[in-house]
Structure 1
Amino acid sequence: MVDLLQAAGLQVDTADNGRQALEMALRTPYALILMDVQMPGLDGLAATRQIREHLGNAVPIVAMTANAFAEDRAVCLDAGMNDHLSKPVEPQRLFDTLRRWLEKAPAPG
C-alpha cells in the first residue's frame, strides 16, 4: 500500500500501532488518515475516537479493514471515520476515495 501511494506522488507516514497513530495525528497536520481498524494495542476505532476528541473533524479518516460487511462499515462511521475501504483494496477504488476526501479537506497547516 505504501509503495502504491508513494508511486502516485503522495507523502506517506506509517504507524506500527494505534497509540503511535494517535500521537502522530496530534503532532502532524495530515491532509488525510488511512486508519487500519485492527492494530495492536489501541485499535483503529479507539484511535479514531481519540483523534476526534482532540482534533474534531479537521482531518478525514478512512478505515482500511478486512471486514467488508455493512455493519463493519457502520461501526467505523460511528467511531468517527469518514469512509470505509475493505481489503484487499483495488487501487482505483483507493484513489477515487482519496481524491474525494482530499478535495473536501482544508489544506493542512
Structure 2
Amino acid sequence: MLLAEDNPVNRMLAVRLLNKAGHQTIVAENGRAAVQAWQTHPTDVILMDVQMPEMDGLEATRLIRKAEQLGQLAPTPIIALTANAMESDKQHCLVAGMDDFLSKPFQIQTLLETLQRACPNTEPSSSIPRACIAVK
C-alpha cells in the first residue's frame, strides 16, 4: 500500500493503523514522491492526501492515470484522503481519477471498509513484514 501524506502526525497515525491491520506501507511525503513511488514500487492501492506541497494529490492522480492509459503500469485504486468533506470536494477527487474518498479524521473501520471496496480480492497478510518504506 502507498500512503501519500505530508503531515507527519497524520502519516504516523495512518501507518500505525495500516500496520495494525496487517498492511505493508510505503510512504510518500508529497504528490511528486507518490508518483515516483508508484512507478518504482507498484502497490495494490494508493491512499492519496489531496492537499500536499510540491504536487497535490489531484495532480499526482492525474499523472498516474495518464501513465496507466499509456500502458506503463496496471490501474491502481486511488483513495482520496482529505479534511474537506463537502460533496463538491468528493466530486473533484473523482473527476481527477480517484476511485473513492475518505474524510479525515477517519475511523479504522471506515478505512478498512474503504480498502476492502478498493481491493476486494486482497487480504492483508500476516506473513508480510509490517514495514514502512519512506520515499521523499
TM (norm. structure 1) is: 0.92
Higher relative contact order (CA 8 A, sep 6+): 2
Matched to 1:103, the amino acid is: P
Max Rg structure: 2
Structure 1 segment 24-103 matched on structure 2, within 5 A? 24-56=37-69, 58-103=75-120
Correspondence for 1:20: 33
CA shift for structure 1 position 29: 1.6
The C-alpha deviation readout for 1:6-26, integer Å capped at 9, x for no partner, is: 011100011011100011111
CA contact (8 A) 1:85 1:94 kept: yes
CA contact (8 A) 1:19 1:42 kept: yes
Residues 1:8 and 2:21 are matched in the alignment? yes
The C-alpha deviation readout for 1:38-78, integer Å capped at 9, x for no partner, is: 11110000000000000247100000000000000000000
Matched to 1:65, the amino acid is: T
Hey, which of these two has a bigger chunk of strand by percent?
A: 2
Hey, which of these two has a bigger chunk of helix by percent?
A: 1
Query: Percent same amino acid at aligned positions?
Result: 49
TM (norm. structure 2) is: 0.74
Partner of 2:23, secondary structure, is: coil
Aligned residues: 105
Unaligned runs of 5+ in 2: 1-13, 123-136
Partner of 1:23, secondary structure, is: helix
Unaligned runs of 5+ in 1: none
CA contact (8 A) 1:26 1:54 kept: no
